[in-house]
Structure 1
Amino acid sequence: MSGSGRLGGMSEPPVISVMLIVPDAGAAVAWYRTALGATELWNLGGVAGLSIGGAAFFLHQVNPANPAEDSPDGVTHVRVEVFCDDPDGFVERAVAAGAVGSAVVDHQMPWGTHRQGGFTDPFGHKWSVGDRSPLR
């Protein structure tokens, strides 16, 4: 990869996002909208695009015919990271909507104090929520 940020001759750099597998896409869309303030970008029924603060993520309903599209059933090996101005409020809103949360606390990092907590959503996905300090 050259210093230009291009990969394989593409004109724009890649974008990384996540697609969360959920047992009921409709219920998940409703929950993420209510609990996290997500905006619905599009919805095809079993697959939907959402956005939180301009960061897109996607939902895909479990597909029994495809083992790659199976719900985590409470166990997931991926953690979604959210960086925002009010991590306490973000976690509180998710917990109020049914997520299981961990307190937002101060962590001393090489760049200074980083406030971070998190929650597990009703679909088994783990979310870490912190201030924007690691991005600076």
Structure 2
Amino acid sequence: MADTAETTPTGGLTPHIQIGDNRAAEAIDFYRAAFGATERHRQLAEDGRRLMHAHVVINGASLMLHDEFPEYVGPADVGPAGGSGLTLHLQVDDTDVWFGRAVAAGARAAMPPADMFWGDRYAQVVDPFGYRWSIGGPMQGEAR
């Protein structure tokens, strides 16, 4: 049995996303390269090939993810994994660095870094699995 410190989410709200095409393990590798994720736990399904549950920590916050399990889809489950109206936000120390790392790892640049009226330097990327990530941090020249 895993140590609960490894499997318990950090923070008060933890996104749990589904990754299509049995690519959850690939998503973990991408999140590690793009956002510095650390893997806390991984549980394979009984079929030994799909991830039933994974827990990573990105920038101090938990993200849960799993492969698709169409055999368990109910009437309330509508639409494909990724590409929904969901945006995952990262508040970081340097928007340009985080944005550049994500793009270098394979994310599509959706909005290049720019200073915004609310006081953040802000950008957006779309990961290879269809999820949009917003990245915000101090504007250039501000104390970090």
Q: Tell me, yes or no, whether TM beats 0.5.
A: yes
Query: The TM-score by the shorter chain falls in which range?
Result: 0.7 to 0.9
Which residue number in structure 1 is paired with residue 81 of structure 2? 72
Match for 2:89: what amino acid?
E
Which residue number in structure 1 is paired with residue 117 of structure 2? 108
Aligned CA RMSD, in angstroms, stands at: 2.0
Which residue number in structure 2 is paired with residue 31 of structure 1? 30
User: SS of the counterpart of 2:29?
Assistant: helix
Structure 1 position 17 matched with structure 2 position 14: yes
- Structure-2-length-normalised TM-score: 0.73
Q: Distance in 2 between matches of 1:62 and 1:117?
A: 29
Which residue number in structure 1 is paired with residue 92 of structure 2? 84
Q: Distance in 1 between matches of 2:102 and 2:81?
A: 19
Relative distance call for 1:53 and 1:69 in structure 2 (3 A) is: farther
Relative distance call for 1:71 and 1:41 in structure 2 (3 A) is: farther
Q: Which runs of 5+ in 1 are unaligned?
A: 1-13
Contact kept, 8 Å, 1:80 with 1:128, in 2: the verdict is yes
Q: Which runs of 5+ in 2 are unaligned?
A: 1-10, 45-50, 140-144
User: SS of the counterpart of 1:65?
Assistant: helix
Contact kept, 8 Å, 2:32 with 2:38, in 1: the verdict is yes
Match for 1:104: what amino acid?
P
- Structure-1-length-normalised TM-score: 0.77
Contact kept, 8 Å, 1:61 with 1:69, in 2: the verdict is no
